[in-house]
Amino acid sequence: MPLTLQQIRSNCQQARDRMAQARSEHWAFGAFNLDDEATLRAVIQAALKKHAPVLVEVSQGEVDDIGLDNVRDLVDNFKADYGVEVYVNLDHSPSVEAAKAGIEAGFEFIHIDISQANHDATDVEIIEATKEVVEYAKLTGAMVESEPHYFGGSSNVHSEDIDYGEIKKTFSSPVGAQAFVSATGIDTYAAAIGNLHGKYPVPKVLDLELLQRIRSAIDCNISLHGGSDTPGHYFRDAVKIGVTKININSDMRYAYRTALEKVLSENKNEYSVAKLISKDVIAAVQAVVESKIDDFNSAGKAMVH
């Protein structure tokens, strides 16, 4: 059932207040990608077990598969059934129009990412598009996130090593972050400090000293994308510095697929795949989410209803 504008505004204000609280108390929301109902159930069950507030997020591929309104309804149904604190993020929205649709659907968090869709987008194009979304988000109070550069990698399992020489060329800078936040009025800045989308053969290395300088340079929220395959100590330090949103996708997808392959190979005569997913796959994904919640220091931080 669609939310009223008043309900959407109330949810967005609560999300805004909670992000401020996360920063002051040094914990972060895990933003976990939703591929299907099974991954949503895994996130919700982990949030319930850990008594943690969470974000679930969809990018354009999932939006095309599931639909914005269906995502909103699915999340709200689970929210009502389980009594968990959960918000929805539109991740890497490729256009102003797509971001506006997410705002209208009642998503509390909107990530506008023109450079992800068009690697050749100019600084002016990125800033103007971001400003337009920030202005439109005033309709509901949704929190807008963006970055001034293309963010590397992909939400998959990579076989190549990480080329930090190349990656460092796209690192955020305190001066650049300050200028972008000032020009756009965003609520959340997506920092690049060694975080990278996807799983790689070697663990990621985050430049926490750079993160500290970025934190000192800007007053809005800071998010980290590409959180998969990152040693947990980086996250524990990042939330102490003041990161309040960390995105996880590939670790969940890897757990999903490996668990599914294993259970299919062990149950060759079972044709109800949904049964196998409910029994084994959801548990594997849930374990990933629980471990991240611990790293983000958000266990026990859910609002009491």
Residues 34 and 15: their CA atoms lie apart, in Å, by: 19
Indicate the length of the chain as a whole number: 305
Distances in whole angstroms, Cα of residue 257 to Cα of each of 39, 252, 254: 11, 9, 5
**Contact criterion met (CB below 8 Å) for 236 and 297:** yes
What number of other Cβ atoms are within 10 A of residue 33's Cβ? 25
Coil vs helix vs strand at 192: coil
**Extended beta strands in the chain, E state:** 29-33, 54-58, 86-93, 109-112, 143-146, 153-157, 188-191, 197-199, 221-224, 245-248
Tokens of residue 76, six digits = 């709200």
C-beta separation of 57 from 34 below 8 A: yes
Name the residues annotated as catalytic. 91
CB-neighbour burial class of residue 163 (10 A; exposed 0-12, middle 13-18, buried 19+): exposed
The rounded distance, in Å, linking the Cα atoms of 41 and 34 is: 9
How many Cα neighbours within 13 Å face the side chain of 62? 26
Q: At what angle do helices 232-241 and 208-217 cross, to 10 degrees?
A: 20
Is residue 27 within 8 A of residue 243, CB to CB? The reply is no
CA separation for the pair 164, 234 (Å, rounded): 17
| Straight-line distance from the first to the last Cα atom of the chain, in angstroms, rounded to the nearest whole number | 21
